[in-house]
Amino acid sequence: MSGTNGAYVRIDEDLKTFKVSRRAFVDPAVTDAEYREIFDKCWLYLGHESELDQPNDFLTRTVARRNILFARQADGEFRAYLNTCPHRGASVCRERSGSAKSFQCMYHGWVFGNDGRLKHLPGEDSYGENFRESGGGDLTPVPKLDNCAGFWFVCFDPDGPSLDDYLGAAMPYIELLSLHSKHGMEIVGGTQEYAIRSNWKLLTENSVDGYHAESTHATYLDYLMNVSGGLIKQPLVGRAFDLGNGHAVLEYKAPWGRTIAQWIPMWGEEVKAQLEDVKAELVERLGPDKADRIAHYNRNLLIFPNLIVNDIMAITVRTYYPDAPDFMNVNAWALAPRREVDWARQYRLYNFLEFLGPGGFATPDDVEAMEKCQMGYRNLKEARWNDISKGIGKAEPSFDDEAQMRAFWTEWQSRISRADGFGLAA
């Protein structure tokens, strides 16, 4: 046998198999190691620039167990701080979002500007000279903050790579999302928040899995066939791409409508004319090839470890973090072109809820499948390995092969093997 034998990933080049130990989904020590070696060291999605649309806007968000205050200063600069008071550690900002030039800790009244600096503290004359001016009482900034095409990321490792180096070949796919409209893109509506009783890596796999749609989502496909006049019978055609650093993407054509510029008959002739105008503007601004990709190709994009962007009927941005080996919290947002016409915005949000929402057609199916997998891992002692071999060795893996999952697991194994005690066989 020739291949790679890691603690959790086994590759047999002769048999063309790629297997993952099910212990990776159930062991609390693995989850702890994931926080140390992955979530504490990788670039993680924080938010979209449109969520802080105006100077002095802010939001609070949990990223890798840390409470973060993401703020836009009066001069328009974006900043992110640990949302914890330097005095006694209380959360400085208790609101989820809003607009503010300053934040006051409710415990002892320390006041901080949205530039993170300590502006006022009661009883200042009882502190040492220049205590406030010294900066020791300022909010702690995140070690690294940067953005790609309006998608803002944080990294808690001050010695980590630049965001550009980390994203690498995935950058053009993020940038493509920003080009859907000459007016830019924006997060619309609220946040979908829900929990799944399974390991977080199952959602990573599921989100870029083109193999499960026909069986898992049969009800939704039947529904689409009825409302689309049979268009859904047309095959899905596309590719899986390993983008390096654990990132991957599925890019494929599908028969469903895309509100950006792919018309379907159920929308009517008036909408067809509007979408032809949208397509013409894309061609003029970006050229025919890029315009065609935006208008007619779907993408399921994975940014390692836990950012998924589904650019399908609607654009969904999703992150998720483990609380335990068998429990994760999920957050998702809808991304859309600014100044989108009313019918397109309504249909886009309808699809955000209808297909990928926690009460829609797809997500409940996916949740049940993932939770059944987690239940199946109770048989770990006798049944130890998951098989992720579909399409292995192909020069051009199809969208329903598993090359994208192998990209994730190869990077995951590389990082997790650096943790103490994780270099041995599982």
Domains of the chain in start order, with CATH, are 54-141 (2.102.10.10), 178-416 (3.90.380.10)
pLDDT at 357: 80
d(CA 341, CA 337): 9
pLDDT at 363: 86
Beta bridge partners of 141: 81
pLDDT at 1: 39
Task: Name the token pair of 417.
Answer: 């093997």
Beta bridge partners of 231: none
Query: Which residue's structure tokens are 């949205």?
Result: 114
pLDDT tens digits, residue range 118-172? Answer: 999 999 889 888 888 888 899 999 999 999 999 999 999 999 999 999 999 999 9
d(CA 229, CA 98): 45
- Angle among Cα 196, 199, 36 to the nearest 5 degrees reads 120
**Neighbour count for residue 409 (Cβ, 10 Å):** 25
d(CA 166, CA 247): 10
CA atoms within 13 A on the CB side of 223: 9
pLDDT at 329: 97
In the chain, % helix, strand, coil (3-state, to 5) comes to 30, 30, 40
**Neighbour count for residue 379 (Cβ, 10 Å):** 10
- CA–CA distance from 358 to each of 141, 192, 220, 343, 364 (Å)? 34, 7, 14, 23, 6
Ramachandran assignment for 266, one of left (phi > 0), alpha (psi -120 to 50 degrees), beta (any other): alpha
Q: What percentage of the chain exceeds 90 in pLDDT? A: 73
Please check whether residue 82 is in contact with residue 94, taking contact to mean a CB–CB distance below 8 angstroms. no
pLDDT at 233: 57
The stretches in the chain having pLDDT less than 70 are 1-4, 213-214, 217-218, 220-235, 423-426
Q: Determine how β-strand 111-113 pairs with β-strand 43-48.
A: unpaired
Three-class SS of residue 246?
Answer: coil
d(CA 135, CA 131): 7
pLDDT at 353: 83
Q: Determine how β-strand 3-5 pairs with β-strand 102-104.
A: unpaired
- Cα–Cα nearest to 302, from 187, 409, 219, 415: 409
d(CA 65, CA 320): 11
Alpha-carbon Rg of the chain, whole angstroms?
A: 23
Three-class SS of residue 276?
Answer: helix
Task: Name the token pair of 5.
Answer: 């034998």
- Cα–Cα nearest to 19, from 3, 37, 31, 39: 3
Three-class SS of residue 424?
Answer: coil
Backbone dihedral angles phi then psi of residue 115, each to the nearest 5 degrees: -90, 5
